Amino acid sequence: VPRILSGIQPTADSFHFGNYLGALRQWVDLQDGHDAFYMIADMHAITVAQDPKVLRERTLLSAAQLIAMGIDPARSAIFVQSQVPAHAQLAWVLNCLTAFGEARRMTQFKDKSAKEGEGAASVGLFTYPILQAADILLYRPAYVPVGEDQRQHLELTRDLAQRFNSRYKKTFKLPEPHILKETAKIFDLQNPTAKMSKSAPSPAGIIELLDDPKVSAKKIRSAVTDSEAEVRFDVEAKPGVSNLLTIYNALTGRPIAELEQAYAGRGYGDLKGDLAEVVVDFVTPFRTRTRQLLDDRAELQRVLSDGAERAGAVAARTMEQVYDRIGFLGRDA
């Protein structure tokens, strides 16, 4: 069976609908017929300032949300990145294979460092796509289910795999991104040309899975639209309405054309009200389930240890080959 690997950062208390519709929904679906590894990327989370207590809590919250969403730890390995030391080890090797100019072309660094400025951002934030390449290549997956914002990083990953293979010996498989066309990029409700992000400056445009459903409903009702009153899918001219239609379609399966018809002549209020209801119906059982899982933290820790064990075994085998092939003198057995 083909293997898949993907990760999510514990950079907020809650995942949001961009994470869910762009990536996590695929994680759940792809468990069937794939050997799946799902990583909570805590090492990526420290590329920006963070509070240790909060990070630990968010790591457990992330695990609970993944399981509540339908990731089955009996089938898929759910693990915490820092519990598998090979990630840091391979990242260093790949750092030494990456050209500075190549790293500088990664656009996400420009976005993420914009607030504090390039000079103040951490070198870890700058090289995070290289750590991400290591995260992926260690497992030699066939596919990496992600949102559109990760496409450039997947290209870097493939370039580095290719470079290592040709400089030393064929070691890595070139992974393909697995990106859902319709929901590859979900936009911020208040700023519908920007990606919905955990680390956005304001929570007003982010529909969080663990928000109080009343808050989510309110955020949807106050989503930015436009001054027309026509429900029509047109990303260029009507980014706000189109984003709402994308989310509506993804959650209900109702085709966009059908939604356009259903709301013809009714204005945005009805569309927002109905979508709010759909979202509330979705998050209500999810929140309950997440809360139940958080009641037994020892069990969550066990699931994660088991995941780290499975992931660590695969990653250690890859690392052994990598160290040997680059010429590190192995220790006498």
| Beta-strand relationship, 35-40 and 77-80 | parallel
**Contact region for ligand ATP (CB under 6 A) — 16-24, 165-173, 292-300, 325-333?**
16-24
Which of 35, 42, 149, 211 is the binder for ligand ATP (CB under 6 A)? 149
Query: Residue ranges for the binding site for L-tryptophan?
Result: 135
* 11 lies in the site for ligand ATP, by CB under 6 A: yes
| Beta-strand relationship, 35-40 and 3-8 | parallel
Task: Return the number of the residue (31 or 171) whose C-beta is nearest ligand ATP.
Answer: 31
d(CA 149, CA 172): 23
* 107 lies in the site for ligand ATP, by CB under 6 A: no
Residue in 70, 51, 47, 69 with CA at minimum distance from that of residue 59: 51
Task: Return the number of the residue (205 or 263) whose C-beta is nearest ligand ATP.
Answer: 205
- Note if 198 is an active site residue: yes
d(CA 24, CA 26): 5
Query: Residue ranges for the binding site for ATP?
Result: 9-11, 18-19, 147-149, 186, 195-199
- Note if 195 is an active site residue: yes
d(CA 196, CA 128): 20
| Interface pattern 56-95 for ligand ATP (x via CB under 6 A) | ----------------------------------------
Which of 147, 205, 213, 239 is the binder for ligand ATP (CB under 6 A)? 147
Burial environment of residue 167 by CB neighbours within 10 A (0 to 12, 13 to 18, 19 or more): exposed
Task: Return the number of the residue (18 or 213) whose C-beta is nearest ligand ATP.
Answer: 18
d(CA 39, CA 80): 6
- Note if 170 is an active site residue: no
| Interface pattern 166-205 for ligand ATP (x via CB under 6 A) | -------------------xx--------xxxxx------
Asked if residue 168 lies in contact with residue 325, where contact means CB atoms within 8 angstroms, the answer is: yes
- Which candidate in 198, 219, 238, 272 is catalytic? 198
Which residues have a Cβ under 8 Å from the Cβ of 67 and sit 6 or more positions away?
Answer: 73, 78, 293, 300, 303
Cα three-residue angle 304-69-53, rounded to 5 degrees: 50
**Residues at the interface with ligand ATP (CB under 6 A):** 8-9, 11, 18-19, 22-23, 146-147, 149-150, 185-186, 195-199
Catalytic site residues?
112, 195, 198
